[in-house]
Homo-oligomer: A and B are copies of this chain.
Amino acid sequence: MPSDLAAQLRAVSLRVTRPRLAVLAALRDHPHVDTDTVIDLVRADLPMVSHQAVYNVLHALTAAGLVRRIQPAGATARYEAQAGDNHHHIVCRSCGAIADVACATGHAPCLTASDDHGFVVDEAEVVYWGTCPACSEGIA
């Protein structure tokens, strides 16, 4: 459904270009991919896109709120299509795999800081650290 993705772009006043559609499609089909993988996925459709274009597009889409940038400590930047639901992530310390986790309680009771130090908080992010099933087996 390319027109669907095009509509998303128009909704945020961004021009509809081949690279942007390809990036959106890649993120839709592959959640939590790093920039390098995005470039590879996009080039499967459009061999001529420069990595620059991908960086530009990811920035533009992030700024527009269509995709979300996630970057666990030490790893390279990853992106996911912003579904609008406030889910969180569980990251494998060993292999870096990322899985989605729905917010446990629904209304996030502890996601309001007890003492905000005068900060204006607009988002609370939760990252669970652990070991994925595959890596757990390897260890055991």
Q: Which residues of A contact B (CB under 8 A)?
A: 69-74, 77, 88, 90, 92, 99, 101-105, 108-133, 136
Total copies of this chain within the assembly = 2
Alpha-carbon distance between A105 and B71 when the two chains are bound, in angstroms: 26
The answer to whether B99 and A105 have CB atoms under 8 Å apart is no
The answer to whether B115 and A101 have CB atoms under 8 Å apart is yes
The answer to whether B125 and A113 have CB atoms under 8 Å apart is no
10 additional A-B pairs beyond A69-B73, A71-B72, A101-B113, beta carbons within 8 Å, are: A71-B71, A99-B117, A101-B115, A104-B113, A110-B110, A118-B136, A119-B130, A124-B127, A125-B127, A126-B127
The answer to whether B104 and A120 have CB atoms under 8 Å apart is no
